[in-house]
Amino acid sequence: MTIETGDEKKVYKIRLQLTATDAAFQDIFELINQTSNRVCTLLQYESAGIYRWLDVVSSYNSLYRLQHEYYGGAIIEDFVLINNLPPPY
C-alpha cells in the first residue's frame, strides 16, 4: 500500500468563487499560467456565464497553499481531484 504525502502531482479541477472579480481571476490565471511557475501547470480553462474552472496538474499541498495562504480563500472556492491517472506529461 502506498502512503500519499499530498505532494504527488495529479490532475485537479479548481472552481473559482462566483464573487471573484475579473481582476482577481486574471491575477490567479496569470500566476498559474506562468511558464516559470512550479506550483501547477494549466491544462484547460472553462467558463459558463459567471462560473469559471481551471484544470491543472499540481499537488494537493500546493493547491491548498495557493487557496489559503496566498489568497485567503478569496478566489479559489474549491479544488477536486479529477482522476487518479498520472499527469499527462
SS3 78: strand
Distance CA 63, CA 68 (A): 9
Distance CA 74, CA 68 (A): 8
Domains of the chain, each with CATH number or no CATH: 10-81 (3.30.70.80)
What are the pLDDT digits (tens) for 49-86? 778 888 888 889 888 888 886 666 667 888 889 875 55
Q: Is 60 exceeded by the pLDDT of residue 87? A: no
CA 12, 33, 6: angle at the middle one, nearest 5? 35
What are the pLDDT digits (tens) for 30-41? 777 665 556 788
What pLDDT, on a 0 to 100 scale, did the predictor assign at position 27? 77
What pLDDT, on a 0 to 100 scale, did the predictor assign at position 33? 66
